[in-house]
Amino acid sequence: MAEQTTSRRSSASRKPKKNQIPYGFLTVAGIVGIALLLNMNSSNVAFFWLTGAAFGFILQKGRFCFTASMRDPYLTGSTSVTRAVIVAFAITTIGFTAIKYGYANAGLAVPGMSYVAPISFATLIGAFIFGVGMVIAGGCASGTLMRVGEGFVMNTIAFFFFMMGSLWGAHDFGWWKEHVISKGSSVFLPDIFGWMGAVVLQLGVLLILYVVAEQYEKKRSGSH
């Protein structure tokens, strides 16, 4: 697409491009090699490494950015990333619930319940602080890691201070737990609405958000 476009400007000013594809294949070979090494110690660690590489590859190829999904509607009026995030939430909800329901039906402990976190004022405050930080730093948690791989020095600095901020947060966590978090409780939607009800309700909300996002974008781009 980009290759076919002809520029009015002289191509003589262009530097000759280096071909980085061989290094790309070397990196892929390195990823496989490290997976084999990790596998000698623990197949679980090797699995995490490979899924991580898949996540990184997909995030970069899709320029998938959770920061943009939250920021662009306000800042630039675009909701295309927001809508893609909604699609991801919807598909993953269906897959996750299928797995969880399978376990529950078999009378086994439902997996992933530690991600059903208690809701308190700390959830809202923490998410708010996180939201401000990710827009300023130009990348969320996954986005920061992905951009470290892409060669952004700025995100590498942000990554280091993300770790330091996590340490700080872990240091203060006892206080928050005692004074704020312990006053809240976790809410697992199927406990209230049943499995089917919770999925239908959530997909309905996501559908409404999708339509609202699209209409909002149309309105914003028509307004000037």
102-121 residues near another protein, rule: CB under 8 A:
111-119
* Of 176, 212, 214, 216, the one binding another protein by CB under 8 A: 176
Q: How far apart are CA 42 and CA 35, in angstroms?
A: 10
> Which residues, numbered 134-163, are part of the site for another protein (CB under 8 A)?
134-142, 144-155, 157-163
Asked if 211 touches another protein (CB under 8 A), the answer is no
Place of tokens 């602080």: 129
Greatest C-alpha distance within the chain:
70
- Residue 1 three-state SS: coil
What is the closest distance, in whole angstroms, from the C-beta atom of residue 214 to another protein in the complex? Answer: 12
What is the closest distance, in whole angstroms, from the C-beta atom of residue 130 to another protein in the complex? Answer: 3
N- to C-terminal Cα distance for the chain? Answer: 30
What is the closest distance, in whole angstroms, from the C-beta atom of residue 29 to another protein in the complex? Answer: 10
* Of 33, 179, 183, 186, the one binding another protein by CB under 8 A: 186
Q: Do 116 and 189 form a contact (C-beta atoms < 8 A)?
A: no
What is the closest distance, in whole angstroms, from the C-beta atom of residue 23 to another protein in the complex? Answer: 5
> Which residues, numbered 20-39, are part of the site for another protein (CB under 8 A)?
20-25, 27-28, 30-31, 34, 38
What is the closest distance, in whole angstroms, from the C-beta atom of residue 208 to another protein in the complex? Answer: 13
> Contacts with another protein: how many residues (CB under 8 A)?
142
Q: Which residues touch 134 (CB under 8 Å, ≥6 apart)?
A: 66, 67, 70, 140, 141, 143
Q: Name all contacts of 143-151 with Cβ < 8 Å and 24+ positions apart.
A: 143/59, 143/65, 143/66, 143/67, 145/56, 146/56, 146/59, 146/60, 149/56, 149/60, 150/60
> Which residues, numbered 38-67, are part of the site for another protein (CB under 8 A)?
38, 41-42, 44-45, 47-67
Asked if 92 touches another protein (CB under 8 A), the answer is yes
Asked if 93 touches another protein (CB under 8 A), the answer is yes
